[in-house]
């Protein structure tokens, strides 16, 4: 099939797509967007988190055919125009919340989604942050630096 969808605000097309291959595969291997990571391919780790029509999803669990005509935003699409970092990304760097970095793109999208859904409400509590990020696994950091980054991002 020919896949037509909007990715990070641009109309993109990919030919010879098998409708059952994953959106993650399409993004990484066909559209040259390696930000979303392929770690488990089973919906367990959150490393592949992207927005699909504004909802955060695991791209490894979305079939390419399901993305037809829809809007996808990847971690690459969260940066500023000149490639500047998003405040969530800056908070991760400042807190030292990136070690191997494999979980980081998925976490950035998940935290972006958390802050967006929260709006301008009260500061997030640690249990709220932990619950919201329960689907994003990190094998390196012990999560403390990640919590610190989210606290910082939620104040910016
Ligand atoms: S690669 Fe998609 S959830 Fe792990
Ligand atoms: S920084 Fe390595 S898995 Fe999270």
pLDDT at 119: 74
Half-sphere exposure (Cβ direction) of 30: Cα atoms closer than 13 Å = 20
pLDDT tens digit sequence for 108-135: 999 999 999 987 767 889 999 999 999 9
How would you classify residue 41: left for phi > 0, otherwise alpha for psi between -120 and 50, otherwise beta? left
The mean of the pLDDT values for the chain is: 95
124 CA → ligand 2 middle, Å: 23
pLDDT tens digit sequence for 63-92: 999 999 999 999 999 987 777 899 999 999
Residue bearing the bigger pLDDT, 102 or 83:
102
Q: Which of 26, 56, 58 maximizes ligand 1 atoms within 8 Å of its Cβ, making it the mutation to test the pocket?
A: 58
| For range 100-105, the mean pLDDT | 97
Q: How many CB atoms lie within 10 A of CB 4?
A: 13
pLDDT at 121: 66
Burial class (CB in 10 A: 0-12, 13-18, 19+), 88: buried
Q: Which atom of ligand 1 is nearest to the CA of 46?
A: 3
């Amino acid at each position: 099939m020919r896949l037509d969808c909007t990715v990070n605000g641009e109309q993109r097309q990919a030919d010879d797509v098998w409708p059952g291959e994953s959106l993650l595969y399409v993004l990484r291997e066909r559209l040259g967007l390696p930000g979303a990571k392929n770690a488990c391919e089973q919906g367990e780790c959150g490393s592949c988190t992207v927005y699909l029509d504004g909802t955060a999803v695991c791209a490894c669990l979305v079939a390419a055919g399901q993305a037809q005509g829809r809007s996808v935003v990847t971690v690459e699409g969260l940066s500023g125009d000149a490639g500047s970092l998003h405040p969530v990304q800056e908070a991760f760097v400042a807190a030292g919340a990136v070690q191997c970095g494999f979980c980081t793109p998925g976490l950035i999208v998940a935290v972006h989604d958390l802050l967006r859904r929260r709006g301008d409400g009260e500061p997030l509590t640690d249990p709220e942050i932990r619950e919201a990020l329960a689907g994003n696994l990190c094998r390196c950091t012990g999560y403390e630096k990640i919590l610190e980054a989210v606290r910082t991002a939620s104040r910016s």
